[in-house]
Amino acid sequence: MGTGTTMVSGKVRKDLSTKTYQNGNIPIVASTENRSSSRKKKMIQRRNKETVICPVQKLFETCKKVFANCKSGTVPSPQHIQMLRAVLDEIKPEDVGVSPKMPFFRSKMTGRSPLVTYLHIHKCHRFSIGIFCLPPSGVIPLHNHPEMTVFSKLLFGTIHIKSYDWVSDSPQPSLDTRLAKVKVDSEFTAPCDTSILYPTDGGNLHCFIAKTACAVLDVLGPPYSDPAGRHCTYYFDYPFSSYSVDGVDVPEEEKEGYAWLKEREEEPEDLKMSLKVQKDRI
Ligand SMILES: [Fe+2]
């Protein structure tokens, strides 16, 4: 979704001049050069220990570890998934500089649906980080994440998510239409857990409809890449009963849980996306 790379130092250090000492006194300055130098060393060591990394920097550093060997279809280890999920779970809108009062979250109608803004934070060949800003009724149409693992954190708002996974080895009515199983069809309201989708499960294809103004922090590993064959493709979804295909049989009561997804030839008319680079975030 985004291009380019934004890297600005974002480390925050505690101001040691405001530190109080246990005995309430200013520390005694050593009378010899050696003791002074030793105290300086200790001060530097203490300062290094007290370095506090801002949440976005922490997210960036964690992504570097989690996606260190990331390529098409690579799923991070369970430990790494937990590590990144824990970092995302802690992130608040103010940590990434978004608030529902910002202009991105006001409806600017451009045809049928309001403009959705993507705030690009970082992209390299292993992962990307960005924020989707959806005004009320904003839509991100049904699309895929080929060979990717995706972490999505709803920062604020209420959003309806419908997601699917492909049914493997199912006969197809045509080359551009495949059977998919519904994974999620629900509304989510922040604060809620980070959701994760995988190359073949977890709801690899999804669409978002904002019920209120919403911000979604997205981490993709690896990111979309046309040269690497990871194209973003959009789909129409049709009820299971729309096609009758030999060899595909689903019990009547389970038909609602399946759909036929047909590739869209052109970018959807309801996709109104604007890209902005979020500076000074990493
Ligand atoms: Fe997506």
Q: Give me the domain span that covers residue 135.
A: 55-277
Distance 217 CA to ligand 1 centre (A): 11
Total domains in the fold of the chain: 1
- 23 within domain boundaries: no
Distance 258 CA to ligand 1 centre (A): 20
Distance 228 CA to ligand 1 centre (A): 18
In this predicted structure, what is the pLDDT of residue 269?
77
> Low-confidence residues of the chain, pLDDT below 70?
1-36, 43-51, 109-111, 279-282
In this predicted structure, what is the pLDDT of residue 25?
31
Distance 205 CA to ligand 1 centre (A): 7
| CATH at residue 92 | 2.60.120.10
Distance 144 CA to ligand 1 centre (A): 7
Q: Could you report the per-residue pLDDT of 97-144, keeping only the tens digit for each?
A: 999 999 989 987 666 789 999 999 999 999 999 999 999 999 999 999
Distance 25 CA to ligand 1 centre (A): 56
Place of tokens 């994440």: 145
Distance 141 CA to ligand 1 centre (A): 9
Q: What is the 3-state secondary structure (H, E, C) of the chain?
A: CCCCCCCCCCEEECCHHHCCCCCCCCCCCCCCHHHHHHHHHHHHHHHHHCEEECHHHHHHHHHHHHCCCCCCCCCCCHHHHHHHHHHHHHCCHHHHCCCCCCHHHCCCEECCEECEEEEEEEECCCCEEEEEEECCCCEEEEECCCCCEEEEEEEECEEEEEEEEECCCCCCCECCEEEEEEEEEEEEECCCCCEEECCCCCCCEEEEEECCCEEEEEEEECCCECCCCECCCEEEEEEHHHCCCCCCCCCHHHHHHEEEEEECCCCCCCCCEEEEECCCCC
pTM greater than the 0.85 cutoff: no
Please name which of 76, 94, 165 lies closest in space to residue 131, comparing C-alpha atoms: 94
In this predicted structure, what is the pLDDT of residue 76?
97
- 155 within domain boundaries: yes
Distance 27 CA to ligand 1 centre (A): 55
- 68 within domain boundaries: yes
- 8 within domain boundaries: no
- 17 within domain boundaries: no
- 180 within domain boundaries: yes
Tell me the HSE value of 153 on the side-chain side, using a 13 A CA sphere: 20
Distance 220 CA to ligand 1 centre (A): 9
Distance 202 CA to ligand 1 centre (A): 12
- 212 within domain boundaries: yes
Distance 267 CA to ligand 1 centre (A): 15
- 164 within domain boundaries: yes
β-pair type (235-239, 258-263): antiparallel
